[in-house]
Amino acid sequence: MPDAAILLPLLPVLFLVLAAEFVNGWTDSPNAIATVVSTRVLSPGQAVIMAAVLNIVGALVTGTAVATTIGTGIVKPDVIGLPAVAAAMLTIVVWSGVAWFYGLPTSESHELIAGLTGAGLAIAGPSVLLWAGWQKVLIGLGFSSLLGFTLSILVMTGLNWALRRASLSVSRKVFSKLQILSAAFMAFTHGSNDGQKFMGVFTLTLVLGGVMTQFTVPLWVILVCGTIMGLGTAVGGWRIIRTMGFKLTKLEPINGFAAETSAGLSILLASFLGVPVSTTHTINISIMGVGATRRFSAVRWGVAGNIVTAWILTFPVCGVLGYIFAWLLKLIF
């Protein structure tokens, strides 16, 4: 059992990690279930329960490659210390809270990476950055945009061709059932990638705090972080579900199936490669791709522009916030 001298600085940081995970449930986990709710295939309550359970399952059965990348591959863990982790978590809580208030889906992946980077720079300077991890971050941008968009167009085009003689009522009946599977797959892959990120930070905090001697994600950390994320989704996820599922483009069950399947495949591939990918970007881009196959004007590009603006601002804003918070914590402690 760790003594009080270890727990006193450690517990507040662990609390901040869980707070950031809770906020992640507000703004990121709803991405996995937005389309299945908007097409009325599942009720919000049913979708939240499914997302919470399958997020945990996804994190449990797909390894910890992404958690390891986040925990040990972005900044040098032996240099940054607990203040840098605390600063990154404060950054996520502040920026995600602002985005949630306006109903904008933001990428906690990019907030986390930018916040850790800014905090690391404030603590130790440019030498703290690890290029190998940042290469995976850049690859992740490709997965979340190019691959998600391309796959969604290919899948939607293929489905439209295969069902070109089917009536709309038949399509709705078939894909109302299939979309439950695609939404479950999306929630599973969300856990396999995004769910792992805060598990990685939680484990990193335990290592920096002296509770663990090596970076290995324990089972209890997976369960605790997954549960907290599910609670966040249940409490505040509706704002994001409304933006993505209802405002971005009009979705039928077949559209939701195509978007979720395309996004899920992109995310799952990234997870097995240990690439931290933005699930927010991936599913949003997939929804845009699906909408664009109907006609270009089917996507509400004004709403899409607001979402993209929030994405673009995330890296610089969170980098600066992480730097400022770490600088202040460094002065205090």
CB 29 within 8 Å of CB 225: no
Round to whole Å and give the CA distance between 137 and 151.
20
Q: Indicate the number of domains in the chain.
A: 1
Helix (H, G, I), strand (E, B) or coil at 299: strand
Query: pTM (2 decimals)?
Result: 0.82
Low-confidence ranges of the chain (pLDDT < 70): 1-7, 28-32, 103-105, 143, 236-250, 295-307, 310, 333
- Containing structural domain, residue 159: 4-328
Query: Is residue 313 situated within a structural domain?
Result: yes
Q: What is the pLDDT of residues 92-149, one digit of tens each?
A: 989 888 877 776 667 778 889 999 999 999 998 999 989 888 888 888 877 677 788 8
Q: Each residue of 212-250: b (16+ CB within 10 Å) or e?
A: beebebeeebbebbbbbbbbbbbebbbbbbebbbebbbe
Q: What pLDDT is attached to residue 197?
A: 85
Query: Is residue 333 situated within a structural domain?
Result: no
Query: Is residue 139 situated within a structural domain?
Result: yes
Q: What pLDDT is attached to residue 167?
A: 82
Q: What pLDDT is attached to residue 116?
A: 93
Q: What pLDDT is attached to residue 189?
A: 86
Burial of 76 (0-12, 13-18, 19+ CB in 10 A): middle
Query: Is residue 204 situated within a structural domain?
Result: yes
